[in-house]
């Protein structure tokens, strides 16, 4: 009969807290990288140079069509053999940022395509340069409706950060696995870490849904 042991819980909680801090750090840093990377790739997809568009499209498809776990393993275990050495935390942030950013690029693209073509023509008529057109005309109109979709990827990043435990990062999942393997108690740590992921992910999801409804009620003028 499986018994719940509170002593195991009390012993595990400090390690869970330590792992949660790392998980939050990874989530924030990787999401920031993903936001920037996705935007850059979405803009490059609209480059007038066909080779650039093709190269960006191939890169995005490659990242989207390969599992993030394989990407993490390749970056952490294979790249050092050719001189690129990264610690687990840095490797995880970069790989997860690029992986999720590749999906964000599609969100950005959809938002940019939704901007009325007349806005581009008006910017051209007013003699705006390309940089000013993007910064002051297109992106301000495109990004606001994209916020809920981009926020969903923040939640996804938080959950997928558990993969970093496979490359020695002691995030929540990493601490849980180490504790469980050393104590031979799996029920308590695995249950608790699952609950923590739920307690953080579900309110975020509801918050994003409420934000989306608010934006739909108050569309951009």
Write down the pLDDT at residue 123. 81
Query: Per the domain annotation, does 135 fall within a domain?
Result: yes
Q: In this structure, what CATH number is given to the domain that contains residue 52?
A: 1.10.3720.10
d(CA 208, CA 203): 9
Low-confidence ranges of the chain (pLDDT < 70): 1-2, 218-221
pLDDT at 221: 47
Residue 42 lies in a domain: yes
Cα dist from 170 to 52, 60, 69, 145, 177, whole Å: 38, 29, 16, 36, 9
Question: Residue 194 domain-assigned?
Answer: no
Number of domains in the chain: 1
Helix (H, G, I), strand (E, B) or coil at 92: helix
How many angstroms separate the CA atoms of 202 and 155, rounded?
9
Residue 129 in domain: yes
* Burial class (CB within 10 angstroms; exposed 0-12, middle 13-18, buried 19+) of 51: exposed
Domain extent for 72? 23-171
Spatial distance between the Cα atoms of 185 and 121, rounded to a whole number of angstroms: 65
Whether this prediction's pTM lies above 0.85 is answered by yes
* 72 falls within a domain: yes
Residue 143 token pair: 């990004």
Q: Which residue, 157, 138, 151, is CA-closest to 43? A: 138
- 104 in a structural domain: yes
Q: Which pLDDT value is given to residue 88?
A: 94
CA distance 136 to 57: 26
**Cβ pair 138, 117 in contact under 8 A:** no
Q: What is the pLDDT of residue 122?
A: 83
What does the pLDDT read at residue 194?
95
Any domain includes 221: no
pLDDT at 103: 95
Residue 100 near residue 28 (C-beta atoms within 8 A)? no
Check: CB of residue 171 under 8 Å from CB of residue 16: no
Q: Look at residue 1 in the predicted model and tell me its pLDDT.
A: 60
The C-alpha atoms of residue 200 and residue 208 are separated, in whole angstroms, by 13
Supply the pLDDT for residue 181: 94
For residue 214, is it within any domain?
no
């Amino acid at each position: 009969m499986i018994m719940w042991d509170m002593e195991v819980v009390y012993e595990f909680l400090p390690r869970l807290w330590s792992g949660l801090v790392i998980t939050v750090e990874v989530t924030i840093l990787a999401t920031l990288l993903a936001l920037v990377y996705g935007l850059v790739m979405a803009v490059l997809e609209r480059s007038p140079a066909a080779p650039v568009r093709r190269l960006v499209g191939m890169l995005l498809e490659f990242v989207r069509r390969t599992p993030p776990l394989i990407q993490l393993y390749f970056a952490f275990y294979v790249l050092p053999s050719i001189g690129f050495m990264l610690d687990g935390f840095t490797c995880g942030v970069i790989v997860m940022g690029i992986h999720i950013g590749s999906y964000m690029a599609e969100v950005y693209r959809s938002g940019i395509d939704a901007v009325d073509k007349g806005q581009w023509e008006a910017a051209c008529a007013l003699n705006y340069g390309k940089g000013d057109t993007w910064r002051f005309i297109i992106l301000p109109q495109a990004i606001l409706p994209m916020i809920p979709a981009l926020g969903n990827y923040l939640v996804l990043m938080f959950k997928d950060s558990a993969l970093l435990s496979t490359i020695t990062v002691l995030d929540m999942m990493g601490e849980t696995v180490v504790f469980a393997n050393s104590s031979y108690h799996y029920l308590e740590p695995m249950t608790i870490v699952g609950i923590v992921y739920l307690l953080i992910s579900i309110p975020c999801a509801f918050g994003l849904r409420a934000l989306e409804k608010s934006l739909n009620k108050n569309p951009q003028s």
